[in-house]
Amino acid sequence: MTDTTQGQPATRGSTLPHFVSQKPFDPYDVERLNPALEKIYMASQWRMMWLRFRRHKVAIFCGIVLLAMYGAILCVEFLAPYGQHSRNVDYIYTPPQDVHWFHEGEFVGPFVYALDYRLDMEDLQRIYTEKTDDPRPIRFFCKGDSYKFWNLIEADSHLVCPPDAETPFFLLGSDRLGRDMLSRILYGMRISLTIGLFGVAVSFFLGIVFGGLAGYYGGWVDDLLQRTIEVLRSIPHLPLWLALAAILPVHWSPMLVFFGITIILGLIDWTGLARAVRSRLLSLREEDFCVAAQLMGAKPSRIIFRHLMPSFMSHLIASATLAIPSMILGETALSFLGLGIRPPITSWGVLLNEAQNINVVALYPWLMLPIVPVIVVVLAFNFLGDGLRDAADPYR
């Protein structure tokens, strides 16, 4: 009940009685929200995006997978059983070893059997067999091959190590030089994943700058940039990649080649983002907040990057997650063809370059294992991008 004051009884010619509330006016009194609903109806734009995104279970799982992989590249040296260039010439083309837990009915823990091999003169390959009477326990948090952590700290600690110096531990097999495939895949992950981030950074810088100029100014600036974009998009990407990658000098160090490939991928992939930015700015520049900023004397750069860009930042984030896979696939394709990253730097494309010969693949199929993390990363980024796009869409 509200505190009210009733008027006098009505007489002939007088006004009807009415009730007057003495309480202070509260605009939220009609639709008072409980704390649970207030978190939703009073949430910010980023909060609403998170509430929608966390309902996308597949995207959440893919995000966790990607976080784990990008976290692993920070300590690859510790996670890898062997050093990046460690070789065991006595065990070349060793197939993946099985990890056992029980020996003759007795629990031993994770171990592998010692290996013996013979030469198959018909197929010209080594045939490895396990010595089932000789179990060798796997070591954890142990001392192994020395390395320089981030080229700064000398260390030799590993998460997992082979049983001893004579017994190999090749969980994913070895290559033609006796190098552990698991260790090389982990080291290659650092290059293949970071090249996607650097490539997207270059692509986003160019796309936002040129797309922002075209959408904000319009006129001849828009016409010039749009014709340039149309010319670039009319050129097939793969031949353009090959031509630009072939220009890189042969005497460049592997690190310079890495940055060169990154810039090449970024220079090619910015056109689609530039068009998306342009179309959004053409519509947003006529909004009241943009006109008000212009009347207050704000510079075009401040209007574009402070007022217009945040209005569709969610779209840019979703575009980034969908652009990174194309960068990774581009580097893998160039390195596979021998025009991208070159040894001694290791990437997934460099590892797949060794599996070009169909005879090698038929005899040693585990050399194709580097394609598995490529598929996992590309699918994870695509599902994560779908979840971010749905969460950022205000009309869903």
Residue 78 CA to residue 190 CA, distance in Å, equals 13
Looking at per-residue pLDDT, the higher value among 25 and 287 belongs to 287
Q: For the chain, what percentages of helix, strand and coil (3-state, to nearest 5) are there? A: 55, 15, 30
Has this prediction a pTM greater than 0.75? yes
pLDDT at 376: 92
Over 80: is that where the pLDDT of 21 sits?
A: no
pLDDT at 4: 47
Question: Residues 147-192: pLDDT tens digits?
Answer: 888 778 888 889 998 888 888 889 998 888 889 999 999 998 988 8
pLDDT-based confidence at residue 1 (cuts at 50, 70, 90): very low
**How long a stretch of residues is the chain?**
396
Question: Residues 201-233: pLDDT tens digits?
Answer: 888 888 888 888 888 787 888 888 888 888 888
Q: Distance from first CA to last CA of the chain, Å, rounded?
A: 40
The count of other CB atoms within 10 Å of the CB of residue 272 is 17
pLDDT-based confidence at residue 67 (cuts at 50, 70, 90): very high
Mean pLDDT of 1-22: 56
